[in-house]
Structure 1
Amino acid sequence: MSTPSVANNAYQMAAKLAQQAASPGDMPAGPESVDFGQMVQEAVESVVDKGRDMDSKSIGLIEGRTDVVDVVTAVAETEMALETMVSVRDRVISAYEEIMRMPI
């Protein structure tokens, strides 16, 4: 998978989320409408899958089955996914800290 396809996938996910946010009548009301835990689990699984893909391509390079460009692309995709996950984690922690500072 090339970097443009990763960007395209990210754009499609953002467009889907924007569409869901724009049409709230289609989604059920209440906290059960979005399962935050499931969303986080899927994101973590995606990062882990990218890491496994990178590992297999790295091993393929050592064995002479994979091209260097494929390995570099896999490393870049994994790095980008991990940086995104860390950024989201930082934002969640920041939001939690802000909620904890709110007066009751």
Structure 2
Amino acid sequence: MIISSATNKSAASAYARTQSGTSLADAVTSIDDNTTDETSTSFGETLQSAIESTVQTGKDTEAKAASGLSGHGNLTDIVTSISQAQIVLQTASTVRDKVITSYQDIMRMSI
């Protein structure tokens, strides 16, 4: 995880406010105000980006496999691409399973 200097400043200023007796609500509001739109992304945007990356990896792998079948591809590139696509697919399947499990756990909660 890469931590930006803006995050470090926000954390340091929040810590300083907690030491000086500033309320937690004021500290949280201040942290939210210091967050820039350039560095923050929503969960949906992150998920959308991951899905697009997965689809693009699959398309690239299919293109390399097709060029290999026609006799124009490099065998090392093809095998590497297929291995990468396999890892991406396994990751996507694991994330999907975790989301389904989380949803099922939420549905079992009593309100």
User: Which category describes the TM-score, using the shorter chain as reference length?
Assistant: 0.5 to 0.7
- Measured after TM superposition, the shift of residue 93 of structure 1 is 1.2
Per-residue deviation, residues 2-58 of structure 1 (Å, max 9, x unmatched): xxxxxxxxxxxxx23xx47xx4847738xxx64222111111111111111111111
Partner in structure 1 of residue 23 of structure 2: none
Which sections of structure 2, spanning at least 5 residues, go unmatched? 12-30, 34-39
Which sections of structure 1, spanning at least 5 residues, go unmatched? 1-14
1:62 aligns with 2:69: yes
Letter in 2 for 1:67: N
1:43 aligns with 2:44: no
- Measured after TM superposition, the shift of residue 80 of structure 1 is 0.4
Q: How many residues align?
A: 84
- Tell me, in whole angstroms, the C-alpha distance in 1 between the residues paired with 2:41 and 2:102: 18
Q: If you compute each CA radius of gyration, which structure gives the higher value, 1 or 2?
A: 2
Letter in 2 for 1:85: A
Could you say which structure has the greater relative contact order, defined with CA pairs below 8 angstroms and 6 or more residues apart? Answer: 1
Letter in 1 for 2:32: P
Mean CA deviation greater in 50-59 or 33-42:
33-42
Letter in 1 for 2:88: A
TM-score (norm 2): 0.64
- Tell me, in whole angstroms, the C-alpha distance in 1 between the residues paired with 2:71 and 2:32: 52
Partner in structure 2 of residue 6 of structure 1: none
- Measured after TM superposition, the shift of residue 72 of structure 1 is 0.9
1:28 aligns with 2:35: no
Higher helix share: 1
- Measured after TM superposition, the shift of residue 63 of structure 1 is 2.3
Structure 2 residue corresponding to 1:97, chosen from 88, 95, 104: 104
Percentage identity across aligned positions?
Answer: 34
